[in-house]
A and B are shown apart, each in its own frame.
Chain A
Amino acid sequence: MSAISVPAHVSFFGVSLLPSSRGRYYVGNMEAIERQRLSTDAMGNCTVTLQNVVIGSRYRVEISATGATVVDGVAANSTVDLTVPYYSSGNGSNSLRIKVRNGSGTPSYRPFETQAEAAAGAALVWVSQELDE
């Protein structure tokens, strides 16, 4: 979000505040403009790679705590790269539940479900779908 504020480290009315976050910061003409993030805002993107997926399986990545959809789709390849946001450390939205299902075709597979943690960089998820035959 954007805000107009007094630089936190600038003494104002005799109060000296230390910055709690960093962001774009501009100062000039007796004003300072900076862009701050809420703790619930994503800090960037994480690449979650699903490996060993049965082609044609439906996958779904959701936030564990809420079940909110992060991304879903049908696997066109056995390796699926997914871009998901990650948040500041400790944010519950970093905990992801990953579902992979393929129960309509022949052969059928038992529902696969696992968890992953979104973080800066990448997360590798090995998918092990058992035949339901």
Chain B
Amino acid sequence: MAISASDFSIASNGDLRQAAAFVPGTSTPYTILDLHAWLQDLADNAAPAGDDNVSILGSNPSELAGKRNASRPSALSLLNGINVNDATAQWFKFGSLEQASGGTLYAGIKTIGSIVAGTPMYIVQNNALPNSGTKWWANGHIQTNIKVKSGGSLIAAGVVSVFARKYTDAQRLTFSHFDADLSAGSEQVAAINTTVDAEATLTATQCAAVWAASKISLTYADTTQDLGGGQGSKLHKGTIALANGCTLREAYCALQYACREGSSTTFNGIEGWRYRSLDQARSLGAGYAENLAAPFGSFAGGKWFVAQGWWVTGVLPGESQNYQLTAHDGTIETPPNTIGITAGGLVAGDYVIIARDNGSGGFANDTTLASSATAGATTVALTAAPSDTPTGAGFIRINGNAHTYTGRSGNTISGLSPAVPVGGYAAGLPAFIPFLDKVAASTSESSSSFLYSSGFTVRMRVRNGGASPIIPFETTFSVGSTGGSANAVRAADV
């Protein structure tokens, strides 16, 4: 589009200035090539016309790198004192503008990607919002230019970041940002993707209320914690403390809200609108993978996948399974998954035993005694107790003898009942830990809860040779992440 001469003036000192400020969404930007064509058009005039002091009387005003091509970005050098200021530069797009012998560079930036129509975007340069935070582009994909070199020095190495973080009462979108290196000039792209965030069910107003109710607080200090899911103690670099009944979804929404465009919240000094990760907030240099869509972690399927480095406290009991952490070292941490095993179809007096299947019609010996146990002892040490057995009250068979116990701590079984019999136990005797090993007191018996690790198969035997004799019942069934159960088939043995 040919430039309208009335839009600009060129003073005799080379100052190329706008006649009126560029209005986003109203003014139509010109391409860099348009500017070059206009300047060259003026340059072959016999004498200056109007307020545009460029003609053949003066030096060449501009030079294009390469040939004129309207289908590709242009790299234009303004020569011999011709220059624009920041405000005037807002009128141009699709290329870069260099002046002051290369000491000043306005480089083009263009966003691409799949976005929700009208997604607002903003640019962060050198940890700040350029132009005092006043955007010179309309909502939706942007194509403009921005000063990346001044006085011969690149601003923030020529890198700018484009963000899209909309969280309002009317609409909540997934977040996105992209770092673009504009130091080479011309026009560079930034990939931005947004979708409607169906998990962000709290409005901005509701999120503000979450913060006002002090339901969330954050601390930025090392803490080594064991979530209990089998990953062991792990270092975390910060803590998200939930309180006052804060649900995980409330936490997710409120933290998204705090990271929205225009947020005044800061995270360890980092403004929410440019917060990316705990790595950034604490200047760890650990290379945490950024979650573009949700800086504090995504929420999906009712579960919060908390961003790396954070430890979370105060999770409501009912949501104890609905989150996942990533430790500082990158280890995925899951909350403990406690399950149980249930036998049904029983009658009081049935004897039921359920233990790991050995695959050949019997029970597997889980481990052995690590050391001898003297008669009367109520504590024994095992070589390697399976982690997925009850740590509270349970059952144990040592060399075939049935005992109950009151607690298991690692490989140590305590509270044996009956105590170790006369003669004691020698080290190395076989031992296994049944999940049930008792006379049924009702139609259903359940094991104590234990930590799920991985699936396995158990064998169940139900017998009753007493007053209501049955044909011995035996079966196997699988135990998964939700536990396991089976019903006995009681066939009378009469």
Interface on A for B, CB 8 Å cutoff? Answer: 57-58, 60, 67, 69, 72, 99, 101-104, 108, 110-111, 113, 131-133
Residues A72 and B56 in contact, CB atoms below 8 Å apart: yes
Residues A67 and B57 in contact, CB atoms below 8 Å apart: yes
Q: A57-B44, A58-B44, A104-B44 are in contact. List 9 more A-B contacts (CB 8 A).
A: A69-B57, A99-B56, A103-B43, A104-B40, A108-B68, A111-B44, A132-B64, A133-B67, A133-B68
Query: CA A102 – CA B60 in complex, angstroms?
Result: 12
Is B366 in contact with chain A by the CB < 8 A criterion?
A: no
Is B37 in contact with chain A by the CB < 8 A criterion?
A: yes
Residues A101 and B67 in contact, CB atoms below 8 Å apart: no
Q: Is the interface of A mostly helix, strand, loop or mixed?
A: strand
Is B179 in contact with chain A by the CB < 8 A criterion?
A: no
Query: CA A40 – CA B63 in complex, angstroms?
Result: 37
Cβ distance A68 to chain B, nearest Cβ, rounded Å? 10
A-B contact pairs, 12 of them (CB 8 A): A57-B44, A69-B57, A101-B40, A101-B56, A102-B44, A103-B39, A104-B40, A111-B43, A132-B64, A132-B67, A132-B68, A133-B67
B residues in contact with A60, CB < 8 Å: 56-57
Cβ distance A108 to chain B, nearest Cβ, rounded Å? 6
Which of A67, A69, A111 counts the most chain B CB atoms within 10 A?
A: A111
Is B117 in contact with chain A by the CB < 8 A criterion?
A: no
B residues in contact with A99, CB < 8 Å: 56
Query: CA A108 – CA B41 in complex, angstroms?
Result: 9
Is B46 in contact with chain A by the CB < 8 A criterion?
A: yes
Chain A proximity mask over B16-45: 1 for CB below 8 Å, otherwise 0: 000000000000000000000101111111
Q: Which of chain B's residues has its CB closest to A108's CB?
A: B40
Query: CA A103 – CA B58 in complex, angstroms?
Result: 14
Interface on B for A, CB 8 Å cutoff? Answer: 37, 39-46, 56-57, 60, 63-64, 67-68
Cβ distance B42 to chain A, nearest Cβ, rounded Å? 8
Query: CA A124 – CA B42 in complex, angstroms?
Result: 28
Residues B67 and A58 in contact, CB atoms below 8 Å apart: no
A residues in contact with B45, CB < 8 Å: 58
9 smallest CB-CB distances across A and B, nearest first, come from: A103-B40, A101-B44, A111-B60, A58-B44, A104-B41, A103-B44, A60-B56, A133-B68, A103-B43
Query: CA A131 – CA B60 in complex, angstroms?
Result: 15
Cβ distance B28 to chain A, nearest Cβ, rounded Å? 22
Residues B67 and A111 in contact, CB atoms below 8 Å apart: no
B residues in contact with A57, CB < 8 Å: 44
Residues B43 and A72 in contact, CB atoms below 8 Å apart: no
B residues in contact with A69, CB < 8 Å: 57
Query: CA A133 – CA B66 in complex, angstroms?
Result: 8
Q: Which of chain A's residues has its CB closest to B38's CB?
A: A103
Cβ distance B63 to chain A, nearest Cβ, rounded Å? 7
B residues in contact with A58, CB < 8 Å: 44-46, 56
Residues A132 and B44 in contact, CB atoms below 8 Å apart: no
Residues A108 and B37 in contact, CB atoms below 8 Å apart: yes
Query: CA A39 – CA B435 in complex, angstroms?
Result: 120
Query: CA A110 – CA B79 in complex, angstroms?
Result: 13
Q: Which of chain B's residues has its CB closest to A107's CB?
A: B68
Query: CA A72 – CA B41 in complex, angstroms?
Result: 17
Cβ distance B2 to chain A, nearest Cβ, rounded Å? 11
Q: Which of chain A's residues has its CB closest to B44's CB?
A: A101
